[in-house]
Amino acid sequence: MMKAPPLNKLVPAHVLEFEPYIPSKPEDELMRLYGCSRLFRLNNNENPLGPPASAQAVIKRFPPPRASIYPSGDAYHLRRKLALHLGLHPDQFLVGNGANEVIGFVIKAFCQEGDNIITADKTFAVYEWVAKFSGCEARLIPLKDFAFDDEAILEAIDDRTKIVFLCNPNNPTGTYWSERRLRRFLDRINGRQIVVVDEAYFEFVEQADYPDGISMISQYPNLVIFRTFSKMYALAGLRIGYLTGTREVVDIIRRTCVVYSVNTLAQEAALVAMDDPEHIQNTRDMVRRGKALVTRELRRMGLDFVNGEGPFLMIQLPMSDTLAYRKLMAQGVMVRTMTGFRFPNYIRLTIARMEAMKVFVESLAKALPEERAWEGL
């Protein structure tokens, strides 16, 4: 047998230090290990209503032999449809294998070793991970009142800052910048850096002052917007998301992107998913009802929570969130622990149908310690 490769010499230092992402075990395996006969997935902000009916129909009638044909390499039809839908040119879109993939495209396009990106310390982790993986510094600015801190971000910018990543509304706090605040921030950046606004939960927000980032691209050519079909449109299993910006900026990003990474079924389901306003309304109604029930019960239990925009809320527990996860899993309820988001002792709950919310509330009550250990919180 040949010698194993000298990995310490072959692998760049920043990759050796990088944490491999270990996804959850499959549902059946987790249910076996935790000894539960059912499982409510309230951990990934998936939409329990499933994809819009039109997208489900596309998936149902997909002819199996077409699996042997390569997909459109640049999501040709979907980009045209997005352009029509959002009033932009098709070349202003780049479709990726989930929004996670387009994060990598942007960082590769603008950053090299020694550069830095700026984001928050307690937000979606992938900006930070991909930057570090690419050998760049990730400057993490503490949230202020659970929201991105514009002043501190501006102070942290230097000559090597290439991209600022904002998550609006923020995952997991649900806080958002109003249009006024975002414009003021972009004015002060004055086009010097690329500003990415991740709008993964755009379709869930009904607040009048919440900005539509895409409508601002013509005034701020350094603006790049991310959106996804995973959340509202419930196509998470097919992996499809996109970014949009000016043609010039997107042309640069396109140079780093992997073509053919988005499969045919995802492209075709996404193409029809956005034509279903009823689906959006049904989902919003479900979230509203679910939040009303859960927040009422949390108040009754004396638990604090952070209830912002989006199909989730964050709950502060008088115990370790990872212990709470195990106790809830044993009752067939899967939530997201927040230690990895740097919110120790918080869990994030995905809002779902009433049955799931009721089971969650009952299970949480059982999981809480009898004597509340509030000290130090």
Partner 1 sequence: MDERMRREGSLSVNTDRVFLHVATSFVENTAIGLGLDKPQALSLTLATEEIFEYLCEIASPEKAVHIRCRSGGYYVQVEFVFFVESFDLHAFNLTAGGSIDVETNPDEMRLLIASRAVDRFELNEDKDQGLCLLLVKEKAYPALTDEPVPPARPLKEFSVRDAGPEELKIFSQLTDFYYQRQITPTFLQYPGKLVDMVKGGHYQTALAVDTEGHVGGGIVWHWRNARIVEGFGPYVFNQPTQTAMAGRLVEACLGAIARTPAMGLLVQYPTHDLPKAYFEPLGHIQVYRENESKVVLNAYFRQMHEDAGAAVWSHPDLQRFLQKAYDELALPREIRLMKHQGEFRSRHSVLATRFDLAHNRVDLRPIRPGMDLHENVVKHLKLLAQEGVRNIFFVMDLAVSWQAHFTPSLLQNGLEPKMVLPYAGKGDEVVFQLKGPS
Nearest to partner 1 of 271, 328 (CB atom): 328
Q: In sequence order, which residues have a C-beta less than 8 Å from that of residue 105 and are 6 or more positions away?
A: 94, 96, 243, 253, 254, 256, 257
Nearest to partner 1 of 55, 335 (CB atom): 335
Rounded CA gap, 1 and 31, in Å?
40
Nearest to partner 1 of 177, 346 (CB atom): 346
Rounded CA gap, 160 and 177, in Å?
25
Structure tokens at 375: 């000290």
Q: How far is the CB of 206 from partner 1 (least distance, A)?
A: 31
Q: How far is the CB of 251 from partner 1 (least distance, A)?
A: 33
* C-alpha distances in Å from residue 319, one per residue of 14, 300, 306, 348: 34, 18, 17, 14
**370-323-353-203 Cα dihedral, nearest 10 degrees:** 130
Rounded CA gap, 198 and 219, in Å?
18
Nearest to partner 1 of 185, 341 (CB atom): 341
Nearest to partner 1 of 154, 319 (CB atom): 319
Nearest to partner 1 of 165, 325 (CB atom): 325
Q: How far is the CB of 174 from partner 1 (least distance, A)?
A: 20
Q: Which helix (H) or strand (E) holds 271?
A: helix 264-273
For residue 371, the SS3 value is coil
Q: Which helix (H) or strand (E) holds 120?
A: strand 116-120
**Residue ranges that bind partner 1, judged by CB under 8 A:** 3-4, 19-20, 22, 24-25, 29-30, 33-35, 121, 125, 128-129, 318-320, 322-323, 325-327, 329-330, 336-337, 339-342, 344-345, 373-377
Q: How far is the CB of 4 from partner 1 (least distance, A)?
A: 5
Q: How far is the CB of 256 from partner 1 (least distance, A)?
A: 24
Q: How far is the CB of 235 from partner 1 (least distance, A)?
A: 24
